[in-house]
Every structure is written in C-alpha cells, then in structure tokens.
Amino acid sequence: MGRALAIFAALALLAGCMQAESPGAGDAAADAAATVANSAGATGAASGTAATSVPDFSGVWMAFTVENPNGGGNQPSYSAEGEALLDAYAAQFETIPEVGGNCVGTGIPSVMLSTVSYPIEMVQTESRILMVAELETQVRRIFIDGRDFPDNAFPQMVGHSIGSFEGDTLVIETTQLEPWQLRPWPRSDEASAVERLHLTTFDEIEARPTGFVAGLDRGDSTEVLVVDITLTDPGYYEGPERRIAYYQRVGDYATAEYICARGLWEELLEAERIE
C-alpha cells in the first residue's frame, strides 16, 4: 500500500506538470493517479490496515456503586455443595484473620466490585490494557492484540485475561484463576469470568455515587465506566453470578501508593527491638 501511495504522489505531480504543457495529457495522468489511489484504498480495506477507532479507557476510575441486574442484592447465591465447601474450610480454624488488614488481594471479581474508595488506574496501549488497583496493588494485564491465553501459566488471583472489541464495548475473558475458599467470592479451579466494559455519561444512567465517593471532585468530567462482569464457577455457585459496577472518572492524583505490607513488617521489627 505504501508503494502505491508513492506512485500516486508521483503521478499527481506529473499530472500537474503535463497540465501546464498539454491539457489532454494532464487529464490522462490525473486519471491514472486516481486509479492508483482507488486501488490503494481498496487494498488497505481488504488487508485490514485501515485505521479503526476503539474507545480509550485510560485514566483513573473509582467504583461508586454495584448493582445486581437480577435483583436480590449483591450477596452471591452458593450451591449446596459450595456452602458445604466453605463451611468445611472455615471449620479448620478458630478464627480467620481479616484479609484486607493483612494486605491480601482477593482478585476477580472482588477487585472490580470494590466500592471502598480505592481507585483503579488504566493505561491503554495497542497491545494491552494495564489496570493497577490501589487496593492491595492488584495488577491486571488485559491483552488486546489477538493473542490467546498462555500455556502452562501459573494461576493468579486476577487470572489471565484477553480482550477484544465489539464496537465500543471491550469484552474481557479471564481464566486460570487461583482458587480461593472464603466468602463472599470464592473460586474453584473451574472459575472463569467475562467482563463487558463501555463508556457512557451520568445523564445516560440512573445509578449515582453515594457516601464518600459522592464527595469526590471529578472536575468537569461526566464520564462513567460501566463494568458488567459475570463469574461462572460450578464449584461454588448455583449459576452464573452477574454484577454491574459503575465507575466515575477522578483526577490523576486520586490514586496513591498502597503500603499495607510495610505496617506488618514494622510490627515484626518492633517485636525484635532490643530493650
């Protein structure tokens, strides 16, 4: 295609020169240049090189509410087998330490459904979307360059994700999730998730920020990021669990370093202090 455009440019220049000397010859050269240009455009369309526009999700986003489109609140519906597994796991311990207080990120879907005022920063490139959640510094990489899931990869709390665009909607598939045996969002090794992300504005939705998030300054932005996520895991749930999270755009400096683990280390350090 590049060579065709170069020929087109040369013919266009030639047409201009010939027009000055001979109107008939100039018309012939112009017709040839137009033919080359049309051919180049057709070639680009056929080869898929024509530029396509996709939404850019880059920025800092904070979830302000989560809805269950099927009603009944946001508490998941476990199967009888799932309930038994959860109870059996919990019965092994006198108490279970608080997860967040010990800097443990619980991954998908919790990281995308958290409304405790910790934002997520997204950086979009041609090959991937990088998500950095302030909460426990959980990091996701969603590859959007057509690659498949990695072979023989270690499971992760956030899994491994690939994405593709359906018009203005980004569809993310996540598999290879690390099993997790605590409520509210346990996972077995059969767990997978599908997310559908799109941008809208506050005047197009009924959901509104509440609590702490409502007081945040979003400047002049009216943008809303909608994350429609469905978790499927026959090991724990009666059926697919779908939730819709709404995020508002916030300032670039609304996110910060999450240094939870430092406090745990300092407690250990203090225990070793020489009196």
User: What is 198-235 written as a DSSP string?
Assistant: EEEEGGG-S----HHHHTS--TT--EEEEEEEEEE-TT
pLDDT digits (tens, 9 = 90+) for 209-230: 777 676 666 778 899 999 999 9
Q: Is the pLDDT of residue 62 over 90?
A: yes
User: Quick one: tokens of 16?
Assistant: 């201009």
pLDDT of 221: 85
112 and 72 share one domain = yes
43 and 63 share one domain = no
208 vs 206, higher pLDDT:
206
Who contacts 227 (Cβ-Cβ below 8 Å, separation ≥6)?
Answer: 63, 112, 195, 196, 197, 244, 245, 246, 247
85 and 212 share one domain = yes
147 and 103 share one domain = yes
How many domains does the chain divide into? 2
* CB neighbour class for 247 (10 Å; exposed up to 12, middle 13-18, buried from 19): buried
Does a structural domain hold residue 52? no
Task: State the Rg of the chain over Cα.
Answer: 27
Q: Is the pLDDT of residue 5 over 60?
A: no
Segment 126-150 shows an average pLDDT of 97
Contact 185, 106 (CB under 8 A): yes
Segment 90-98 shows an average pLDDT of 96
HSE (CB half, 13 Å, CA atoms) of 212? 7
Alpha-carbon distance of 103 to 269, in angstroms, equals 17
What count of other Cβ atoms lies within 10 Å of the Cβ of residue 78? 19
DSSP H helices, the chain, are 2-21, 23-47, 80-90, 110-113, 211-214, 260-271
Q: Is the pLDDT of residue 251 over 60?
A: yes
104 and 218 share one domain = yes
- Last residue in a domain, options 10, 27, 47: 47
Does a structural domain hold residue 271? no
Contact 242, 220 (CB under 8 A): no
Of all residues in the chain, what percent carry a pLDDT higher than 70? 79
111 and 165 share one domain = yes
213 and 167 share one domain = yes
22 and 83 share one domain = no
Q: State which residues form the domain around 93.
A: 59-264
Q: What is the pTM for the complete model shown?
A: 0.79
pLDDT of 20: 44
Q: What is the DSSP letter of 177?
A: B
Q: What is the DSSP letter of 130?
A: E
Q: Is the pLDDT of residue 108 over 90?
A: yes
- Going from the C-alpha of 51 to that of each of 24, 44, 46, 104, 171, the distances in angstroms are 36, 9, 12, 42, 20
Of all residues in the chain, what percent carry a pLDDT higher than 90? 70
Alpha-carbon distance of 96 to 275, in angstroms, equals 32
238 and 103 share one domain = yes
pLDDT of 116: 86
pLDDT digits (tens, 9 = 90+) for 10-60: 444 444 444 444 444 445 444 544 443 444 444 444 444 445 799 999 999
33 and 123 share one domain = no
What count of other Cβ atoms lies within 10 Å of the Cβ of residue 158? 26
